[in-house]
Amino acid sequence: METTDDWVQTMGAGPLLGIAAGAIALLLVLIIGLRVHAFLALVTVSLLTAFAAGIPPADIIDTLSEGFSGTLGSVALLVGLGVMLGRLVEVSGGAQALTDALIGKFGEDRAPLALGVASLIFGFPIFFDAGLVVMLPILFTVARRVGGGMLRYGLPVAGAFSVMHVFVPPHPGPVAAGELLGADVGLLLLLGLVVAIPTWYVTSYLFGLWAGKRWVLPVHDILAGGKQAEHDEHPPRAATVVWLLLLPLVLIFLNTGLDALRAAGAVEEGTWYNVVRIFGETPIALLITVFVAIYVLGKRRGRGSVVIEKLLDSSLGPVCAIILVTGAGGMFGGVLQASGIGDALADSLEGIGLPVIVAGFVIATALRIAQGSATVALITSAGLVQPVVANGDYNAVQLAAIVLALSAGSVMASHVNDSGFWLVGRFFNMDVKTTLKTWTVLETLIGLMGFGVAAIVYAIA
Average confidence (pLDDT) over 220-224: 58
In a domain, 173, yes or no: no
Task: Tell me, rounded to whole angstroms, the distance of Cα 129 from its chain centroid.
Answer: 5
| Spatial CA neighbour of 65 closest among 321, 338, 380, 418 | 338
pLDDT at 355 over 50: yes
On whether both 354 and 439 belong to a single domain, the answer is: yes
Lowest mean pLDDT among 116-130, 283-297, 395-409, 410-424: 116-130
Who wins on pLDDT, 213 or 276? Answer: 213
Gap between the Cα atoms of 165 and 268, Å rounded? 28
User: Which pLDDT value is given to residue 3?
Assistant: 42
On whether both 237 and 354 belong to a single domain, the answer is: no
In a domain, 3, yes or no: no
In a domain, 7, yes or no: no
CA distances from 417 to 47, 83, 302, 371, 421 (A): 14, 24, 45, 6, 8
On whether both 405 and 296 belong to a single domain, the answer is: no
- Report long-range pairs for 295-304 (Cβ below 8 Å, ≥24 apart): 296/236, 296/240, 296/244, 297/88, 297/89, 297/92, 297/94, 297/236, 297/244, 298/88, 298/92, 301/92, 301/232, 301/236
User: Which pLDDT value is given to residue 229?
Assistant: 47
On whether both 97 and 112 belong to a single domain, the answer is: yes
On whether both 120 and 144 belong to a single domain, the answer is: yes
User: Which pLDDT value is given to residue 337?
Assistant: 75
Lowest mean pLDDT among 184-188, 193-197, 320-324: 320-324
- Where among 288, 318, 348 does a domain terminate? 318
Average confidence (pLDDT) over 408-434: 90
- Where among 318, 352, 368 does a domain terminate? 318
In a domain, 303, yes or no: yes
On whether both 328 and 313 belong to a single domain, the answer is: no
| Per-residue pLDDT band at 412 (split at 50, 70, 90) | very high
Expressed as residue numbers, the domain containing 17 is: 13-66
| Per-residue pLDDT band at 256 (split at 50, 70, 90) | low
Who wins on pLDDT, 412 or 367? Answer: 412
In a domain, 100, yes or no: yes
User: Which pLDDT value is given to residue 221?
Assistant: 65
**pLDDT tens per residue across span 141-176:** 888 888 888 999 999 999 999 999 899 876 767 877
| Spatial CA neighbour of 116 closest among 213, 209, 237 | 209
| Spatial CA neighbour of 75 closest among 345, 324, 363 | 324
On whether both 139 and 257 belong to a single domain, the answer is: yes
Average confidence (pLDDT) over 12-38: 82
Asked if residues 116 and 200 have their Cβ atoms less than 8 Å apart, the reply is yes
User: Which pLDDT value is given to residue 224?
Assistant: 43
User: Which pLDDT value is given to residue 282?
Assistant: 73
On whether both 361 and 382 belong to a single domain, the answer is: yes
User: Which pLDDT value is given to residue 308?
Assistant: 87
Provide the 10 A C-beta neighbour count for residue 277.
16
| Per-residue pLDDT band at 184 (split at 50, 70, 90) | confident
pLDDT at 265 over 80: no
Gap between the Cα atoms of 293 and 88, Å rounded? 7
pLDDT at 1 over 80: no
**SS3 labels along the chain:** CCCCCCCCCCCCHHHHHHHHHHHHHHHHHHHHHCCCCHHHHHHHHHHHHHHHCCCCHHHHHHHHHHHHHHHHHHHHHHHHHHHHHHHHHHHCCHHHHHHHHHHHHHCHHHHHHHHHHHHHHHCCCCCHHHHHHHHHHHHHHHHHHHCCCCHHHHHHHHHHHHHHHHHCCCCHHHHHHHHHHCCCHHHHHHHHHHHHHHHHHHHHHHHHHHHHHHCCCCCCCCCCCCCCCCCCCCCCCHHHHHHHHHHHHHHHHHHHHHHHHHHCCCCCCCHHHHHHHHCCCHHHHHHHHHHHHHHHHHHHHCCCHHHHHHHHHHHHHHHHHHHHHHHHHHHHHHHHHHCCHHHHHHHHHHCCCCCHHHHHHHHHHHHHHHHCCHHHHHHHHHHHHHHHHHCCCCCHHHHHHHHHHHHHHHCCCCCCCCHHHHHHHHHCCCCHHHHHHHHHHHHHHHHHHHHHHHHHHHHHC
User: Which pLDDT value is given to residue 452?
Assistant: 97
| Per-residue pLDDT band at 397 (split at 50, 70, 90) | very high
Average confidence (pLDDT) over 53-66: 90
On whether both 272 and 164 belong to a single domain, the answer is: yes
pLDDT at 140 over 60: yes
pLDDT at 392 over 90: no
| Per-residue pLDDT band at 177 (split at 50, 70, 90) | confident
pLDDT at 226 over 50: no
pLDDT at 189 over 90: no
Query: What percentage of the chain carries pLDDT values higher than 70?
Result: 90
> Number of folded domains in the chain?
3
pLDDT at 311 over 80: yes
On whether both 415 and 441 belong to a single domain, the answer is: yes
**Angle between the N-to-C axes of helices 320-338 and 419-427, in degrees from 0 to 180, rounded to the nearest 10:** 160
In a domain, 213, yes or no: no
**pLDDT tens per residue across span 64-78:** 998 888 777 766 777
User: Which pLDDT value is given to residue 268?
Assistant: 73
Gap between the Cα atoms of 292 and 301, Å rounded? 13
On whether both 399 and 326 belong to a single domain, the answer is: yes
User: Which pLDDT value is given to residue 346?
Assistant: 62
pLDDT at 2 over 80: no
In a domain, 411, yes or no: yes
pLDDT at 283 over 90: no
Q: Which amino acid appears at position 84 of this protein? A: M
Gap between the Cα atoms of 137 and 83, Å rounded? 9
User: Which pLDDT value is given to residue 44?
Assistant: 93
On whether both 257 and 152 belong to a single domain, the answer is: yes
pTM for the predicted model, two decimal places: 0.69
Gap between the Cα atoms of 11 and 41, Å rounded? 25
In a domain, 214, yes or no: no
Summary mean pLDDT of the chain: 82
- Where among 275, 293, 318 does a domain terminate? 318
| Spatial CA neighbour of 231 closest among 99, 109, 132 | 99
